[in-house]
Structure 1
């Protein structure tokens, strides 16, 4: 019963983060800048002389009094700079305006359908300005809403520094490797009470954190192989990590390969641990040998969890690229869930737990099926050889982690 409640809680959290319909929301930020109102306007208005102050936009072309096109410094899937057409309407004073995007060379216009940005400036004195920023959009999932909140907050802080001191520094504290290491350490200590405040519990929390990091490292390696100039990891305490590429996806093969490499990279490690366990037993203590078994079991279980055929999980992403028809996806999904049930039965999980888990994953797949960012033009489809290669690799990775799970569970719970 406790396990069922835990799984239901995880389901609700993931639904809230990825797919909950929050509707149209407005994020607001109000702050004061010790700078003349015209200087602030030049930095925030798309036709202002200093609109490129933060490096996010490299140039703006003016079509008419309220229409123009901006060239961003973000790369599209072909490594060209993304360009966006926009319209802006302002008050007679020129200190209030609203901007929305009418075209995007990378994303489908549906992404911007509900998006609006409003700016209000008020001159408190000749050398001080009150700034009010607001961003409106429709949100599915709390994750993107939180991202937008911190993004607007960061932009406000950097604008204040630029306007008052004339300096700008790209990036922020959160992206630094030292910060991500600190987040990983924080995750270890937050997970520690869950596993028990003992040395064994500390080992389990540290092992799980390391497993998450290795999984995301596999995604980062895939991004670099696929030609991304930049790739980074964001560590989220307790919930895990996110690997980010440097540009949008260009091919269906790229999506499948990048999604599979998280579990694929770890498959080499778990297979090596299983193969070398006998040598470890002969040349080390029982504590180390048992620690290796526990680590292998946790790694296999975590990576198999990511291969579950839920749309926004790695497994769901891979299967959506290999099987483009709804029938093919449905058949493969139910077959794979059946394989998970068989493996769970082999390692001795209770039938009730397997049934509840299967129902929860089925619900999660349905609940997260909507959403996603639609590109401007269709992605390059897979060739027959690419489809075969990805599916064969998926089957191999799945088999390796299942084998390691059965082997390690057999040793631990014999």
Structure 2
């Protein structure tokens, strides 16, 4: 019961942090929902998830992706991007977009990190509530645990320090904050490491992300210089938030990541 109470407090804190992003969130989502291309992509994405993972894990994966992408959208809107929206993409998961770049590295890190971070509170609520319900409603409790594990697995994967995953984007900004001249080299080196890791582990998802990120990686060297850099102090705070979020998801997701071997 204590764990559930703490989880609900964390959920309230998440709501308060993104409150400005939830307000007025309808227009962007309605435009995406009425776009035939977006609807088609969403149908294919759901079908692909069910095909690869089965009904239970596939639908849990879609819910986790929706939550993740809405975290990005809400964070975008907190930062003044009223047009932010997202769409589901087959195999990739989803993509949050806005018509303009975040104006600073602080905003960029906040928007990028809140995609994964928004799932922390729901994950802990699901885990703690499932423990209380296990004897009374074992099937419901089992489903809640699966969804919590999928949220953890998806976000642990997404926070790996490889471009263009969220973790790679955050790490690139952190390196630029402390060693601006090394950002491109570190990103390229980690991309090569990610490709090698994908081949060694036969991780198709990781390999797909590496390929998709190649074009954006070449442009990112110019984009990162268009935004206002953040101070070392904020860089340390951002690094702490990133590492804490990553470690929490990795701790919860280890059984799931072992099961799927990173994809």
SS in 2 for 1:228: coil
Query: For residues 375-396 of structure 1, what are the alpha-carbon distances to aligned partners after superposition, in whole Å with 9 as ceiling and x for unaligned?
Result: 5973211023321221111112
Query: Which position in structure 2 is the counterpart of 1:306?
Result: 158
The equivalent residue for 2:246 is: 398
Task: Point out the structure with max Rg over C-alpha.
Answer: 1
Structure 1 runs not aligned, ≥5 long? 1-173, 196-200, 342-351
Select the residue among 49, 60, 64 that pairs with 1:191: 49
- Aligned: 1:234 with 2:69: no
Higher helix share: 2
The answer on whether the counterparts of 1:230 and 1:246 sit within 8 Å (CA) in structure 2 is yes
| C-alpha deviation, 1:361, in angstroms | 9.6
Are 2:68 and 1:204 equivalent residues in the alignment?
no
CA contact (8 A) 2:164 2:210 kept: no
Equivalent pair of 1:251/1:381 in contact (CA under 8 Å):
yes
- How many residues were matched structurally? 216
Structure 1 residue 241 displacement after superposition: 1.4
1:241 aligned counterpart, secondary structure: strand
- Residues 310 and 364, structure 1, Cα contact 8 Å, conserved in 2: no
From 204, 227, 231, give the equivalent of 1:383.
231
Find the counterpart in structure 1 of residue 22 from structure 2.
Answer: none
User: SS where residue 294 of structure 1 aligns?
Assistant: helix
Render the CA deviation track for 1:199-229: whole Å, top value 9, x for unaligned: xx22222221111111100100110111212
Query: Which residue of structure 2 lines up, in the alignment, with residue 216 of structure 1?
Result: 69
Please give the per-residue CA displacement for 1:86-114, whole angstroms capped at 9, x wherever unaligned: xxxxxxxxxxxxxxxxxxxxxxxxxxxxx
Secondary structure, aligned partner of 2:61: helix
Alignment CA distance shift 1:226-1:362 (3 Å): closer
What is the CA–CA distance in structure 1 between the aligned matches of 2:171 and 2:224, rounded to whole Å?
22
Q: Do residues 322 (structure 1) and 170 (structure 2) align?
A: no
- Distance in 2 between residues matched to 1:297 and 1:210, nearest whole Å: 12
Distance of 1:410 and 1:194 partners within structure 2: 16
Give the TM-score taking structure 1 as reference length: 0.45
Note the aligned Cα RMSD (angstroms): 3.7
In structure 2, how many angstroms separate the alpha carbons of the residues matched to 1:211 and 1:278?
20
Distance across 1 between alignment mates of 2:201 and 2:257: 17
Candidates 135, 153, 161, aligned match of 1:282: 135
* Separation in structure 2 between the aligned mates of residue 401 and residue 376 of structure 1, nearest angstrom: 27
Q: 5 Å matches for 1:249-264?
A: 249-264=102-117
The residue number in structure 1 matching 2:11 is none
Higher fraction of strand: 1
How far apart, CA to CA, are the structure 2 residues paired with 1:183 and 1:262? 20
